[in-house]
Every structure is written in C-alpha cells, then in structure tokens.
Amino acid sequence: MKILIVDDEQDVEIMFLQKFRREIKSKLLEVEFAFSGQEALEYLERSGSPDVVYVFSDINMPGMSGLELLENIKSRFPHIQVSMISAYGDKENYNKAIKSGAKGFFTKPVDFESLKNEIAELLTDK
C-alpha cells in the first residue's frame, strides 16, 4: 500500500521513514513525500493515483494549505483517504477537516501508534 506524506518541513521525511521502517522493509507500506500541497497534487496527477490510498497532510503550509489540498484530493481522487495534522489542535481546523472528508485529525507531535492503527485499518479494508 502506498501512502503520501505532505509537509513543508522536510525533516519529517527522516522521522516517518524511521517510524515506519519495519512496515517499509516488509513491503507492507511504500511511503512517498511531497513538501507542498501543489507538489502533492502534481504527484497524484502524474501517478494517476490508483496506487496511493492514503495521504497524511500538514494543515499549515505556505501556498496551498492542507485543508485546500484535502478539498482538491476529495474532489479529484475521492477514493483516497486523507488525514490531517496540525500543530494547533483547534476546533475550527478540526471541524473544517472532518466536514471536508478527512478520515482523521492528528496534532503535533504525531502519535505514531494512532497513525499506525489508522493505516492498519486501511490495510485490512483493502
């Protein structure tokens, strides 16, 4: 299963690769990264997106926000599940994300056990 992590902070790539190293090594997961909402959309369009089943995106990014990315993904690729992450656990962003179709909402620092559980649900639904 391929997932796409979207965050403007490039150091998250190392963290995610480390936290999911077992799943990546056993080929349960393939993890791709985009460092802006626009880059994420370009990746999904370029790949045709049939293989990406989950996007995990930061909300607060320069340019296209994660909430704008969520709306774009849900309108263009409705089969892709999307969860959001924010440094701020404010109710307004949470409500906007869920109303726009987000599967989940996380706050920083990422609770990787909860994230792994959410991804595991997707693996069993496949």
CATH number of residue 105's parent domain: 3.40.50.2300
Number of other residues whose CB lies within 10 A of the CB of residue 66:
28
Shortest CA distance to 110 belongs to which of 24, 36, 20? 20
Domain that holds residue 92: 2-125
46-69 pLDDT tens trace:
876 568 899 999 999 999 999 999
Cα dihedral 52, 108, 59, 69 in deg (nearest 10): 0
Show the CA angle centred on residue 31, arms to residues 100 and 64, nearest 5°: 40
Domain count, the chain: 1
Residue ranges of alpha helices (H) inside 1-126 are 12-19, 21-25, 37-47, 66-76, 91-99, 112-125
How big is the chain, counted in residues?
Answer: 126
Using one digit for the tens of pLDDT, what is the confidence trace for 70-126? 999 999 999 999 999 998 778 899 999 999 999 999 998 889 999 999 988 887 765
Q: What is the helix (H) or strand (E) element at residue 54, kind and residue range?
A: strand 52-58
